[in-house]
Amino acid sequence: MIVSPNPHIHASVSTRSLMLDVIIALCPAVIVSFLYYGLSEIAIMAVSVASCVVLEWAITKYMLKRPSTTGDLSAIVTGILLAMNLPPTCPLWVVFIGALVAIAVAKMTFGGIGQNIFNPAITGRVFLLVSFPTFMTDWTVPAGFISNVDAFSGATLLGQVPVLGALEADKLVGLQTFFRNIGGSAGEISALALLVGWVYLLVRKVIKPWITLSIFATVAVIAAVFHLCDPAQFTGPLFNLLTGGVILGACFMATDYVTSPMSTWGGVIYGFGIGFIVMMIRYFGSYPEGMSFAILLMNMAVPLIDMKFHQRKYGRK
């Protein structure tokens, strides 16, 4: 007979079940990327996931000499997110280096799941972006299982802003972009697919909507204000929401439990910070997008936010 203190039952939710839900939520966007970018994207995904899992397993077993934590599936989530954040033409050895930085540097050095300050997948991506800019900005569109010949190649929508000017760039974004936006990181083809996954996470109560909504609102408001002031120089809200990984980042990367604030209002502030930084980088910085940098910068602020924002306590002012 078991004798232990209360509670005697459990919600039967585990780290593994939560991560499984995230994987399920990522499936629509992953499937879309496979359809449009074909075998090369499947290879990137396979290498990324396998590298992350094997690296975490090897590090826990041979370096930390602890029981393996790969069973919690978080390494798979990191692998999927990393692959989704890379161009579909990325060489596989570069993918492996990204996984190495994500798992070995960003995650395991800090002590593994729950301990890392920076989102592992984004850390991996940013490392590759600054180390291998050529590979990371090669937006050639590989052959997919369904036709994508009408896609631009050479630059992402955001990358075309300096070339075409904000007015012309804005015209390229419409309702159609919401469903299909070829040319960019593999995971951000379909805003719809990403949002379906996000809604799944909300319905399953895996995450709360506040961080994501705060990012969307901040990006939209800042873009609207600047765009109204000078439409020739600043792209509008729709353009900025639908391009450059804002949806992928806001739905799946900024909402990472480990690297986001715990309280509702903390999450709102965190989301505001991400939205603000990404818009400043886009309008005034030298990188065309900036979502990754915005999330990493705000990751650093999370301990401070958590110190300042708490739950409302019962019976206390």
Partner 1 sequence: MSKITFAIGGVHPDDAKLSRGCAIEVLPLPETLYVSMAQHLGAPAKPIVAVGDKVRTGQVIAEPGGFISAFVHSPASGTVKSISPRKDLAGNNVTHIEIAVEGDEWVDGVDLSNTLVTDIPDDRQFILDRIKACGVVGLGGATFPTHVKLNPAPGSKAECLILNGAECEPYLTSDFRIMLERTKEIIVGAALMQKVLGDVRTVIGIEENKPEAIEAMRKALAELPYKGIEVLPLKKKYPQGGEKQLIQAVMHREVASGGLPISVGAVVQNVATSLAVYEAVQKNKPLITNVLTVTGNCLPTERQHNYLFRIGMPLSYIISVAGGVPEGAAKLVSGGPMMGRAIANPDAATVKGSSSILYLSESSTRRGTESMCIRCGRCAQACPMGLEPFLLRRLYAAGDLAALEANAVQDCIECGCCLYSCPAYIPLLDHIRQAKVQVMGVIRARNAKK
Which H or E run includes 142? none
Give the one residue of 24, 137, 263, 297 binding partner 1; rule: CB under 8 A: 263
Query: Which residue, 66 or 171, has its beta carbon nearer to partner 1?
Result: 66
Stretch that binds partner 1, among 147-155, 171-179, 259-267, 285-293 (CB under 8 A): 259-267
Q: Does 17 bind partner 1 (CB under 8 A)?
A: yes
CB of 60 vs partner 1, minimal distance in Å: 12
Strand, helix or coil for residue 204: coil
CB of 112 vs partner 1, minimal distance in Å: 6
Query: Which residue, 108 or 158, has its beta carbon nearer to partner 1?
Result: 108
Distances (CA, A) of 159 to 55, 74, 148, 184, 281: 34, 32, 19, 10, 13
CB of 22 vs partner 1, minimal distance in Å: 11
Stretch that binds partner 1, among 50-58, 78-86, 209-217, 253-261 (CB under 8 A): 253-261
Q: Which long-range contacts (CB under 8 A, 24 or more apart) does 50-57 make?
A: 50/79, 51/79, 51/95, 51/96, 51/99, 51/100, 51/103, 52/76, 52/78, 52/79, 52/82, 52/99, 52/102, 52/103, 53/79, 55/99, 55/100, 55/103, 55/104, 55/108, 56/103, 56/107, 56/108, 56/112
Q: Does 212 bind partner 1 (CB under 8 A)?
A: no
R_g of the chain computed on alpha carbons:
20
Give the one residue of 3, 146, 149, 232 binding partner 1; rule: CB under 8 A: 3
CB of 264 vs partner 1, minimal distance in Å: 9
Stretch that binds partner 1, among 109-117, 161-169, 171-179, 236-244 (CB under 8 A): 109-117
Asked whether the bond before 120 is cis by omega within 30 degrees of 0, the reply is no
Query: What six digits make up the tokens of 205?
Result: 């109560």
Binders of partner 1 among residues 22 to 81 (CB under 8 A) are: 69, 72, 74
Residues near partner 1 (CB under 8 A): 1-11, 13-15, 17-18, 69, 72, 74, 111-115, 257-258, 260, 262-263, 310-316
